[in-house]
Amino acid sequence: MSEFSISGNYMSGRFPADFFKKWTEIRYLSILGNNFEGSLPAELFNYSRLEYLTISDVANSGFQFPRFANLNNIYTLILRNCSITGEIPEYIGKMSNLKYLDLSFNNLIGRIPQSMKGLNLIQYLSLAKNKLNDTIPAWVGAVKTRLDLSYNNFSKVSFIVHKQDHLNLFSCCSSSTDPDQLFVDPKKRMHTHCPGRKSKSRSLFINCGGEGVNFGGKYYEADNSTSLNYISPSKTWAYSLSGDFLSPESNSSNFIQTQSCGIHDAESDLYLNARVAPVFLSYYAFCLHKGKYNVTLHFAEIVFREKESYSILKRRVFDVYIQDERKLMNFDIAKEAKGPDEPQIRYFEADVNDSVLKISFYWAGKGSRGDWPALNGPLISAISITPVPQSSALKKALIITLPSSVVVLLLLLAFMWKMGWLGKRELREIQIGQDKHVSLQELIGATRNFSSKMEIGRGHFGRVYKAELEGGQTTVAVKRLSTHSKENIEELLNEFYTLKSLRHENLVQLLDGYFGKGLHLLIYEYMPNLSIADAFFGLKSRLKFNWENRFNICLGIARGLDHLHEHPRLKMVHRDIKAENILLDGALNAKISDFGMASLYTEEEQLMIIKVEAPNGHMAPEYAIQGFVTSKVDVYSFGVVILEIVSGKKNAGYKFNHESEYLLDMAYVASKNGSLMDLVDKNLSGIYDAKQAITILTLAVMCTNISPTLRPRMADVPWLVAYVPKLILLLPQT
């Protein structure tokens, strides 16, 4: 074995140290962009033939460099974010062939070895994001190598620093005489740059990578510097870049990318430019008042977009952090926006307590690589920071000069009344749409006092009723929850407002709820075409589904589940994905229902549900047998549902006294025999997209793999469903 790479494969578990111990002839070894844990094997440092070694993102290793090493032929050494501790050994500086050295994002301490001064061939050296101390040696100021010492704890810089595009010293030191205090932690500089309340601000708008521009009634400041770090003329914000594109041809101009056409948005000026970082990019908003802020991040993929060069096939995948808390993991702009040149906007809330708001973007080695300079690191088009507005009611409450305990009591009583715990429950108003409310009595009356004639569905969580209100102009679905323990209802109540805030085109919208004594209701938007089970398999259904309908339903389910799994706060597993829980609106768009309901049941009740549902074949084996729950449980169920949609057949389960074949078994046999297309519903009369069909059927088999680790992540499924057939068309035909 001379070359081996498993980069960007999202692999996890223990670092496969034993796997490499006998590969003494290895020359090229790349393990970037995975999620391993454990310790790096010390043997790697004695492979004398090794020329290229790149490893990243190994957690909890506690690894220290071995005392001796024999890597005389190494020219690229990247050990980024590998949890390495201890000091940098002198022998690193004696690897005379080194061109690229990256030991960033570790826990290294001590000084920079003097031997590094002798790395005569070095083109890029990064020790960023460590805990190095002592003095930065004078020879650092003399070299012309691209060198990154940012985010460390050095005591001082031992040379006069002039503006140099190749040297990054942002937040490198514990103290600084620099007038802008560029070298110290951004929070420390606040004491001199924002000494009083009047000097603080409440909002900030940045056009990343572009000129100043008006957008949405706000002026976005210019951000077109090509330096490694930059402080705005107003001193109210700054950015810092880390990493390198690992190409002699790359330069600082790569940090700014521009696209003059193609953006599909009426106000495209904000998306014509973007800032791209090789590995890590942080923006800092300074001098903000204490409080809660809305953070809006604007993205558009304007680099990987050309069909002629096949760059449209590339994937940009990175993580987003706000105040050092990860908000997005493995974020792919083009996948989320359904293609390049499409704006993608993400909204977050953040707390500011020390005048600084930090927004960071990190490339963990995932996505596409190659074709240096790859330009595949984080990309951002614009940033907006505004205060979260206080409600007028809260402002009035704050004006009243009552003791704080009285104010709290009044607010609590108001909340209890709103929830129906005080006063007559008939007075409780229920939201049935935007700015539309009815009384509880009107709502119950619209269901004809929960008449069986108004029942449109039932399940483990209760029965669902149709309620026509406002003279038939507004229709909602009312779920009357089965009686549960007080603790379970309180658990649901804790999650209620979070569930209500969920907004996605493929999730049934929760409009309101009522939790009174002996009566627990959830009010949802009404789906006129009921569920997939009703539409495809119901005896009274008159709906006809062509191939486009079926394909879009599958894609909608995938996007809805992806939103639940990757939600920045919830990370929710549904647990009960089946045809009955996928509803269809008037345009046959798929919407997932019953999400967030798992909190309603005790462990014993959950086991009973598993016992009832397992024979139907939708439930993942690890869940049905062991009760083990991860997001891969939903992936399995999703695979079964899309088989039902494509085939038009219900997945049969085990029936007492005789056997019945599972649709899933048929799919496994067909996959093995290369006859998956035989599963396509004969009612389509052969009118369907063959490339889409084979893609989605193959995906169904992948999703239902008996091993959870071999199933795809739900985050990858929408991209596979939507783009693989299109990408096939771009490839050369043989």
- In degrees and rounded to multiples of 5, residue 7 shows phi and psi of -70, 145
- Rounded to whole angstroms, the Cα distance separating 726 from 689 reads 11
Q: Any idea of the CA torsion for 23, 27, 32, 34, to the nearest 10 degrees?
A: -20
Contact criterion met (CB below 8 Å) for 592 and 531: no
**Any residues with CB less than 8 A from the CB of 486 and at least 6 apart, and which?**
none
- Is 571 annotated in some ligand binding site? no
The alpha carbon of residue 71 and the mean position of all alpha carbons in its chain are separated, in whole angstroms, by 38
Residue 284, Cβ density class (10 Å: 0-12 exposed, 13-18 middle, ≥19 buried): buried
Which residues pair with residue 469 across a beta bridge? 474
- At residue 433, the 3 state secondary structure works out as strand
Query: Would you say the C-alpha torsion 346, 348, 352, 358 has a positive or negative sign?
Result: negative
**562 is an active site residue:** no
Contact criterion met (CB below 8 Å) for 183 and 172: yes
What angle (nearest 5°) sits at the alpha carbon of residue 373, between those of residues 335 and 35? 55
What would the 3-class secondary structure string for 520-533 be? EEEEEECCCCCEHH
The alpha carbon of residue 472 and the mean position of all alpha carbons in its chain are separated, in whole angstroms, by 40
Please report the DSSP string for 225-281 in residue order: --SSEEE-TTSSEEEEEE-----TT--GGGGEEE-SS---STTGGGGSEEEE-SSEE
- Rounded to whole angstroms, the Cα distance separating 303 from 276 reads 10
Structure tokens given for 381: 């088009």
- Rounded to whole angstroms, the Cα distance separating 446 from 450 reads 8
Other beta carbons less than 10 A from residue 358's beta carbon: 17
Residue pointed to by tokens 């009344």 = 417
The catalytic position among 57, 341, 576, 634 is 576
Annotated binding site for ATP: 479
Q: Give the catalytic positions in this structure.
A: 576
